[in-house]
Structure 1
Amino acid sequence: MSANTTARTVRRRTVRIAAAALTAAAALSLTACSGSDAAASKPAGQTQTGAAAEAGGAGSSGSGGAGSSSGAQGSDSKADSGAKAGTQAGATGKQTGKQTGGAHATGGGGAGSGVERCHTSGLKAAFATGGDAAPDPDATGGTTTSVVLTNKGSRACKIGGFPGVDLKSENGGERWSLVRSSAKHGSITLQPGDSTDFTINVLLTKEEEGFYQPAFADVTPPNETTSLTIKWPWGTLVDQRSATHPGTFVNPIG
């Protein structure tokens, strides 16, 4: 073999070795790249896993999160329920307090309503005669007079309703029990020294016939059987003792 041939053979081997070295290097580079990519892809996978976890978290937030939100709402609901319960309890307490106060007030009213009625023995009666109290003798169709009742006792008493009024003549032989009006009435409480009154519609006359001349009036307080006798201060009345709707009649107290 000549020297040239030997030289070419050496060059070829050198080229092949170099090529093999390059191939090996390339292979190592590719392996390294694949490893890097795999390594890179692994964090990427982990990132996706994290994202999936976040997505799952969002799903949990949507379900579990909603459950948590629902739980939070439940807590809020419980808190709200507690607050509402407290408010309702407070409101109930207030209502109870009001009801208690009302019951107490009613009890006070009950105590007030427990005041005894006015008895004849604790009252005095008189016709109101001062100022314009006198009935007009010239009135057409009737006029009125007032009887004043005063609590002369030391305790309050209650009075209301129709008193009985019997007119009687000088010798007491002729009596006239006055009818009652259809007026509605209530009741009032008289403290010691307080007064109230009721009116009597009267039909006066100046005629010398068909008249009735009272001398006294027996006044019986409502629900009592004993009367107070007071002097009649006015003139004569049209005698309507037998009339169905006389012009002289009694109105209620209160």
Structure 2
Amino acid sequence: MRVRKLTLAAMALAAGLSLTACQNDDGGTDQGAAPPAASTASSSNGGSESAGTGSSGADGSGGSAGSDGADGADGSGGSDGAGKTPNGTGGTGGTDGAAEDGKPAKCRTDELEITATDATVGGDTEGTVAVDLRNGGGRDCTLAGYAGVDLKTNAGTLSAERTGEQAPPVVLVDGDTVTFGITYPMNNTGGSGVRITGLVVTPPNETKSVTLDWPGAATLPVTDGSGTPVRVGPMGSAGQGD
């Protein structure tokens, strides 16, 4: 009996120890649970901070909007202002517009069809070449003043002199033609003279030239500079500008 009592007592003691151990384990678990909870809160705070960073990022995006890339686009729109500057590229546009005096802008070389024909009348003491400028640019344009005229010769280039007549602006409607004249001395000396090999025409206020075949007499008289010069009339002179 005693042995059984001792056995029961031992079992009771073991059970008590086991219960105590379980209680200690539960308590340890509870204590251990608190730190994770704090960690979770911290993580949550960190998440808020991340969210805050995210919203800062959003603010940053807003900053992009704030930097007004759109405004930058408006700056591109400012390039429209540049466009206002063409004749531009923008410069070209300016050429297409009206000039300050209200007339169409100047005619460009590339817009003109330039041809030359012999216009000498029998019995004239001087030869005449008529130069036609036809507006083929698709818009009205203005020619003002004198064209540049150079004769290519076997002795070098000879520049024509202006007649000195007034040269009012000529508004050339699209498809219309204006003519000016070139007069030159006839070679009646009986000598071979100076051979003409080409005609170079530069429209008024332009720098681009057009080279044409010379349609007049083949030669000019050789002079010491005291003879009649080659002369060019203003727009509209039709070969009678002298």
TM-score, with length taken from structure 1 = 0.48
Superposed counterparts of 1:95-134, under 5 Å? 113-129=102-118, 133=119
Task: Note the C-alpha offset of 1:245.
Answer: 6.5
Equivalent pairs counted in the alignment come to 138
Structure 1 residues 204, 245: closer, same or farther in 2, change over 3 A? Answer: closer
Cα pair 2:103 2:142 within 8 Å, conserved: no
Q: Given the alignment of the two structures, is residue 139 of structure 1 paired with residue 139 of structure 2, yes or no?
A: no
Which of the two has higher C-alpha Rg?
Answer: 1
Partner residue of 2:162 out of 173, 180, 183: 180
- Backbone CA RMSD of aligned residues: 2.6
Per-residue CA distance 1:20-61 (angstroms, 9 max, x = gap) = xxxxxxxxxxxxxxxxxxxxxxxxxxxxxxxxxxxxxxxxxx
Structure 1 residues 252, 189: closer, same or farther in 2, change over 3 A? Answer: same
Cα pair 1:137 1:204 within 8 Å, conserved: no
Cα pair 1:137 1:205 within 8 Å, conserved: no
Superposed counterparts of 1:5-154, under 5 Å? 113-129=102-118, 133=119, 135-136=120-121, 139-140=124-125, 142-154=126-138
Partner residue of 1:162 out of 121, 142, 146: 146
**Greater percentage in helix:** 1
Question: What is the aligned partner in structure 2 of residue 203 from structure 1?
Answer: 185
Task: Note the C-alpha offset of 1:144.
Answer: 2.3
Structure 1 residues 110, 147: closer, same or farther in 2, change over 3 A? Answer: closer
TM-score, with length taken from structure 2 = 0.51
Give percent identity, aligned residues only: 30
Please give the alpha-carbon distance, in whole angstroms, between the structure 2 residues aligned to 1:245 and 1:223.
29
Three-state SS of the structure 1 residue aligned to 2:196 is: coil
Per-residue CA distance 1:86-138 (angstroms, 9 max, x = gap) = xxxxxxxxxxxxxxxxxxxxxxx988824110111111211134xxx3x1465
Question: What is the aligned partner in structure 1 of residue 198 from structure 2?
Answer: 216
Structure 1 residues 239, 226: closer, same or farther in 2, change over 3 A? Answer: farther
Residue identity opposite 1:120 in structure 2: T
Per-residue CA distance 1:73-97 (angstroms, 9 max, x = gap) = xxxxxxxxxxxxxxxxxxxxxxxxx
> Any unmatched runs of 5+ in structure 2?
1-97, 237-242
